[in-house]
């Protein structure tokens, strides 16, 4: 049996300054499909911060053919350097500044890993974060090596009329006497290699401009495949909205003459913040009402903002090393969340962010892949673009804002930029700016960055009618995680309110007379008792308002109190949370081996409350829609935390949805009718909210199983005038065994077979359908003529949708789902390790399953572990098994 060689982890504690600095880089590309020649001229010098004395120069490099190497213009002979598979070492270099000329060749056409220089539908493009630049030239490919880049790109004029790189355009001309041309770009801002980008191709563009607060005019361009220009309006609006917002909210202005965005169809992630030249997965740029859903419009807006905001949080101030990834990602996610809240519907976006955190990050923190927001070690950095680094990382920034106040946080960020512009820094530098501005000791807060696991916060309230005081007991525990045994108590901002008998908030005054204006308590010990005075009657506590900390909250509230919060809480987040908690309690009970079906009195009571809230005209329709989205299968599995039977979870959910549908039918029907679209399509939050509410009502109506409701869904599909309605109806029908299902799927395919992004939806809807034959369905989809393992969007549409969003299918009792994922991922692993390892992440929660499924998932993982795996997949498989 072949056993993959053990891979060694890297440790944060081993960080050492680079021995050499690269100050200037000149790159000369001769683009060619299979043999692109790259001439690099590097100006280097010994790092003055490192003890002097002839240190060898070690450069990273991968998949490169070295043509020539010269030091201070003098060619080096083979014996002057040591060329290995991933390094190029020159043992003797001068102890003063020197230059290195390196000529290499790489093969973009053969690059299916989509890291380094590759081709996407004929367009040359690059992806360098985190370690792709070393696949372009030999380099000190680490984020603390900042350099100023000048790039010349030469290419065939017909093949690549558009030539782009970072910074500002300097020159563009034909190469006389040839069919080739070239362009020169210069980026004046020192940057690490991971922010380098180059694009060459036959692209069309949409242009606009933006005048910054200080009056600089910036040219904006979005480059897309010719013919797609009509799908860029929304993206362009988002660019301008983001630029304005970052000026207003954080005082951050754009700094180059141009801001370019390129959309490509083959991309491993969502998008990339390369300085002045963002490269996007085209799914996050292209939108038209008939092809993009409201969810697509929202993600486009959010990701454009995210990448744009990186210009300051990531590019101008970057990371010292990859352990500090959250420094740019957590902060930038926080910034994009704030942008979305400010420009769309605040509470609804908070709900969306928390849903995302709980769905993806909580299981990560509770499973074998748990790691701190700033990991202390990793085997493959590509595996650390995680929900913990991104989403939990954003929550840490939010907590800092809560603790410092909006104004304090803004001041601290200003100080951070002032101190560190042009530097590669650490989480400590960031938190220090927060501490310095506020005068607060944030040393305990730092544990959020170093300790993994979700803290459990238990709260209970007693009322003393004689003294008119309420005592809130709070205790916190962080359970051990596979990576850390011992845990220390955390610094937790706990926002709360106490509701009086009429549902209004009572003034919060502590025993010693301190008034809590903002309702904020700080939990720092393992146990606290907070006493509130002058409380006239037993209050109902509303705890963790606005989800003020990424913790699991347990309370002693009974069903009546939860219902009271659902009807009265002035905090919109907690009001929604109360409805979810009510439903979750029913569903977790129902999903137990001999639980009561979620159809009894309590379910009817929930249904009535939901119906009332959903028709409360004063509330935003998008917010009302959130109430009608009952907890998902993954919500329930996460709450159960052990012995999970995904079929029982699914059944519990179906039963509750049917009960709600039946009980609230008149209200839901009313909503469905009254919210029918009237005017022309608009993606704005108002219209999108109406669609969301109407579609949520439809979903519950169909859940009744009534033939007339299924008919309604089919009519909804046929009459849909936008993608949101069409895909909602298709998705609802996809789970059913009705002839309408096949008819709608066939119709959708015929209409959209030549629109890849829409066709992805067709693939995804089938992969997600909860049906007995779903394993066979996804297996068959892999053989569909339009399927390709090489296109990450298509792979995600089928394989990730199935593994991550079809719990009954993926966890089918016969283990067929596990085998399917394992063999597909193994095949992908041979050419795109990053993508394969991400897919394998779907195994992370195998230990919470009932014993039979656990055994079968474990067997599949063990079989995988015996295969020859990439470093990426090796790390995921072995850690998931509890071995690495």
Contact residues toward ligand PHE (CB under 6 A) are 127, 129, 268-269, 271-273, 306-307, 310, 329, 385
| Residue among 57 and 125 whose Cβ is closer to ligand PHE | 125
How many binding residues for Zn ion (CB under 5 A)?
2
**Nearest 5°: CA angle at 713, between 707 and 719?**
135
Secondary structure element (H or E) that encloses residue 210, with its range: strand 204-211
- Indicate which of ligand PHE, Zn ion, none lies near residue 317 (CB less than 5 to 8 Å, by partner kind): none
Smallest separation (angstroms) from ligand PHE to the CB of 17: 24
- Indicate which of ligand PHE, Zn ion, none lies near residue 315 (CB less than 5 to 8 Å, by partner kind): none
Smallest separation (angstroms) from Zn ion to the CB of 329: 5
From residue 542, alpha-carbon distances to 395, 476, 574, 725 in Å are: 20, 18, 7, 36
Look at strands 20-30 and 74-75 and give their pairing: unpaired
**Whole-number Å distance between alpha carbons of 781 and 135:** 33
- Tell me if residue 255 falls in helix, strand or coil: coil
Helix axes 816-829, 871-880, angle to 10 degrees: 150
**Whole-number Å distance between alpha carbons of 339 and 341:** 5
| Residue among 261 and 474 whose Cβ is closer to Zn ion | 261
**Whole-number Å distance between alpha carbons of 181 and 202:** 13
Q: Are 374 and 326 in contact (CB under 8 A)?
A: yes
**Whole-number Å distance between alpha carbons of 139 and 145:** 9
Smallest separation (angstroms) from Zn ion to the CB of 197: 14
- Indicate which of ligand PHE, Zn ion, none lies near residue 350 (CB less than 5 to 8 Å, by partner kind): none
| Residue among 19 and 329 whose Cβ is closer to Zn ion | 329
- Indicate which of Zn ion, ligand PHE, none lies near residue 129 (CB less than 5 to 8 Å, by partner kind): ligand PHE
| Residue among 294 and 329 whose Cβ is closer to Zn ion | 329
| Residue among 61 and 792 whose Cβ is closer to ligand PHE | 792
Q: Are 699 and 728 in contact (CB under 8 A)?
A: yes
- Indicate which of Zn ion, ligand PHE, none lies near residue 591 (CB less than 5 to 8 Å, by partner kind): none
- Indicate which of Zn ion, ligand PHE, none lies near residue 269 (CB less than 5 to 8 Å, by partner kind): ligand PHE
- Indicate which of ligand PHE, Zn ion, none lies near residue 127 (CB less than 5 to 8 Å, by partner kind): ligand PHE
| Residue among 380 and 626 whose Cβ is closer to ligand PHE | 380
Burial of 586 (0-12, 13-18, 19+ CB in 10 A): buried
**Whole-number Å distance between alpha carbons of 566 and 629:** 14
Smallest separation (angstroms) from ligand PHE to the CB of 329: 6
Q: Are 11 and 79 in contact (CB under 8 A)?
A: no
Four-residue CA torsion sign, 729, 734, 740, 746: positive
Q: In what order do the strands lie in the sheet with 57-60?
A: 57-60, 87-90, 82-83
Ranges of beta strands (E only) in 370-526 are: 377-378, 424-425, 456-464, 469-477, 492-499, 520-523
**Whole-number Å distance between alpha carbons of 417 and 422:** 9
| Residue among 629 and 838 whose Cβ is closer to ligand PHE | 838
Smallest separation (angstroms) from ligand PHE to the CB of 180: 30
Smallest separation (angstroms) from ligand PHE to the CB of 333: 8
Long-range contacts of 857-861 (CB under 8 A, 24+ apart): 857/811, 857/815, 857/818, 859/815, 860/815, 860/818, 860/819, 860/821, 860/822, 861/822
Instruction: Please write down the HEC assignment for all residues of 747-790.
Output: HHHHHHCCCHHHHHHHHHHHHHCCCCCHHHHHHHHHCCCCCCCC
Query: Applying CB under 5 A, which part among 237-245, 330-338, 750-758, 811-819 lies near Zn ion?
Result: 330-338
Smallest separation (angstroms) from ligand PHE to the CB of 322: 11
From residue 231, alpha-carbon distances to 203, 228, 298 in Å are: 14, 6, 15
**Whole-number Å distance between alpha carbons of 294 and 49:** 52
| Residue among 330 and 661 whose Cβ is closer to ligand PHE | 330
Catalytic one of 273, 307, 338, 395 = 307
Secondary structure element (H or E) that encloses residue 711, with its range: helix 707-719
Residue 124 exposure: Cα atoms within 13 Å on the Cβ side: 29
| Residue among 195 and 877 whose Cβ is closer to Zn ion | 195
CA end-to-end span of the chain: 19
| Residue among 332 and 382 whose Cβ is closer to Zn ion | 332
| Residue among 272 and 396 whose Cβ is closer to ligand PHE | 272
Q: Are 777 and 771 in contact (CB under 8 A)?
A: yes
Secondary structure element (H or E) that encloses residue 150, with its range: strand 147-156
Smallest separation (angstroms) from Zn ion to the CB of 313: 9
Smallest separation (angstroms) from ligand PHE to the CB of 173: 32
307 is catalytic: yes
**Nearest 5°: CA angle at 553, between 547 and 556?**
125
- Indicate which of ligand PHE, Zn ion, none lies near residue 385 (CB less than 5 to 8 Å, by partner kind): ligand PHE
**Whole-number Å distance between alpha carbons of 876 and 7:** 12
Give the residue closest to ligand PHE by C-beta: 269
**198 CB contacts (<8 Å, ≥6 apart)?**
29, 117, 124, 125, 126, 151, 153, 164, 165
**Whole-number Å distance between alpha carbons of 45 and 98:** 6
| Residue among 128 and 557 whose Cβ is closer to ligand PHE | 128
| Residue among 308 and 449 whose Cβ is closer to ligand PHE | 308
> Which residues of this protein are in contact with Zn ion, per CB under 5 A?
329, 332
What are the residue numbers of the active site? Answer: 307
């Amino acid at each position: 049996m072949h056993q993959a060689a053990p891979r060694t982890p890297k440790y944060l504690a081993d960080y050492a300054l680079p021995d050499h600095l690269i100050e200037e880089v000149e790159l000369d590309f001769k683009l060619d499909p299979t043999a692109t020649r790259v001439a690099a001229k590097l100006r280097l010098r010994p790092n003055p911060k490192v003890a002097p004395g002839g240190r060898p120069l070690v450069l990273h490099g991968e998949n490169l053919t070295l043509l020539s190497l010269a030091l201070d213009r003098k060619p080096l002979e083979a014996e002057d350097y040591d060329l290995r598979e991933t390094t190029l070492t020159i043992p003797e270099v001068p102890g003063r500044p020197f230059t290195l000329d390196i000529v290499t060749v790489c093969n973009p056409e053969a690059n299916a890993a989509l890291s380094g220089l590759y081709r996407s539908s004929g367009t040359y493009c690059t992806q360098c974060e985190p370690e792709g630049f070393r696949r372009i030239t030999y380099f000190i490919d680490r984020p603390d090596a900042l350099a100023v880049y000048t790039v010349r790109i030469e290419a065939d004029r017909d093949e690549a009329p558009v030539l782009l790189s970072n910074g500002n355009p300097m020159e563009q001309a034909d190469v006389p006497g040839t069919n080739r041309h070239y362009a020169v770009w210069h980026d004046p801002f020192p940057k690490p290699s991971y922010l380098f980008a180059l694009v060459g191709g036959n692209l069309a563009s949409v242009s606009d401009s933006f005048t910054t607060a200080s009056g600089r005019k910036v040219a904006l361009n979005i480059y897309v495949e010719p013919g797609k220009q009509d799908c860029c309006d929304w993206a362009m609006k988002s660019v301008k909205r983001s630029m304005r917002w970052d000026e207003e909210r954080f005082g951050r202005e754009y700094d180059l003459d141009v801001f370019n965005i390129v959309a490509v169809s083959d991309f491993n992630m969502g998008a990339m913040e390369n300085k002045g030249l963002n490269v996007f997965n085209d799914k996050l740029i292209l939108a038209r009402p008939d092809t993009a859903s409201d969810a697509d419009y929202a993600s486009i807006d959010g990701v454009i903002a995210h990448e744009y905001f990186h210009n300051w949080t990531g590019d101008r101030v970057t990371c010292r090393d990859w352990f500090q990834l959250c420094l740019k990602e957590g902060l930038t996610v926080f910034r994009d969340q704030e942008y979305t809240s400010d420009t769309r519907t605040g509470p609804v976006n908070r709900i969306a962010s928390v849903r995302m955190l709980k769905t993806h990050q909580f299981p990560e923190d509770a499973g074998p892949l748990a790691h701190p927001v700033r990991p202390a070690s990793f085997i493959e950095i590509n595996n650390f673009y995680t929900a913990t680094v991104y989403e939990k990382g954003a929550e840490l920034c939010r907590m800092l804002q809560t603790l410092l106040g909006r104004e304090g946080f803004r001041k601290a960020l200003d100080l951070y930029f002032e101190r560190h512009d042009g530097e590669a820094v650490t989480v400590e530098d960031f938190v220090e700016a927060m501490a310095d501005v506020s005068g607060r000791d944030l040393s305990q807060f730092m544990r959020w960055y170093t300790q993994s696991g979700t803290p459990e916060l238990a709260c209970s309230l007693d009322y003393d009618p004689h003294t008119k005081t309420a005592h809130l007991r709070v205790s916190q525990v962080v359970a051990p995680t596979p990576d850390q045994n011992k845990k220390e108590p955390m610094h937790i901002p706990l926002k709360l309110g106490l509701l009086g008998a009429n549902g209004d908030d009572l003034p919060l005054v502590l025993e010693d007379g301190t008034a809590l204006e903002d309702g904020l308590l700080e939990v720092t010990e393992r146990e606290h008792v907070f006493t509130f005075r002058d409380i006239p009657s037993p209050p109902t506590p509303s705890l963790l308002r606005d989800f003020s900390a990424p913790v699991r909250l347990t309370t002693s509230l009974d069903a009546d109190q939860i219902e009271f919060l659902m009807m009265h809480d002035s905090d919109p987040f907690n009001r929604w949370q109360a409805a979810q908690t009510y439903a979750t309690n029913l569903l977790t009970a129902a999903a137990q081996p001999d639980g009561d079906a979620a159809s009894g009195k309590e379910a009817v009571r929930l249904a009535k409350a939901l119906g009332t809230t959903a028709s409360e005209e004063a509330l935003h329709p998008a917010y009302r829609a959130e109430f009608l989205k009952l907890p998902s299968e993954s919500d329930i599995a996460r709450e159960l935390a052990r012995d999970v039977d995904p079929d029982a979870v699914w059944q519990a959910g179906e039963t509750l949805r049917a009960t709600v549908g039946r009980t609230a039918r008149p209200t839901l029907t009313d909503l469905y009718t009254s919210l029918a679209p009237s005017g022309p399509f608009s993606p704005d939050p108002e219209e999108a909210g109406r669609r969301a509410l109407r579609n949520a009502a439809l979903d519950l109506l169909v859940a009744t199983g009534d033939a007339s409701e299924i008919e309604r869904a089919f009519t909804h599909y046929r009459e849909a005038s936008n993608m949101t309605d069409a895909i909602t109806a298709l998705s609802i029908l996809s789970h059913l065994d009705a002839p309408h299902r096949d008819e709608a799927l066939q119709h959708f395919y015929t209409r959209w077979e030549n629109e890849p992004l829409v066709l992805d939806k067709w693939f995804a809807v089938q992969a997600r359908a909860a049906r007995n034959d779903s394993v066979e369905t996804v297996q068959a989809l892999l053989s569909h003529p339009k399927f390709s393992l090489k296109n990450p969007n298509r792979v995600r549409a089928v394989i990730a949708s199935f593994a991550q969003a079809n719990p009954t299918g993926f966890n089918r009792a016969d283990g067929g789902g596990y085998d399917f994922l394992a063999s597909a991922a193994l095949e992908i692993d041979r050419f795109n390790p990053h993508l394969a390892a991400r897919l394998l992440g779907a195994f992370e929660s195998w230990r919470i399953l009932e014993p039979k499924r656990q055994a079968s998932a474990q067997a599949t993982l063990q079989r995988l572990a015996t295969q020859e795996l990439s470093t990426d997949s090796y790390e995921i498989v072995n850690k998931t098994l509890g071995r690495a």
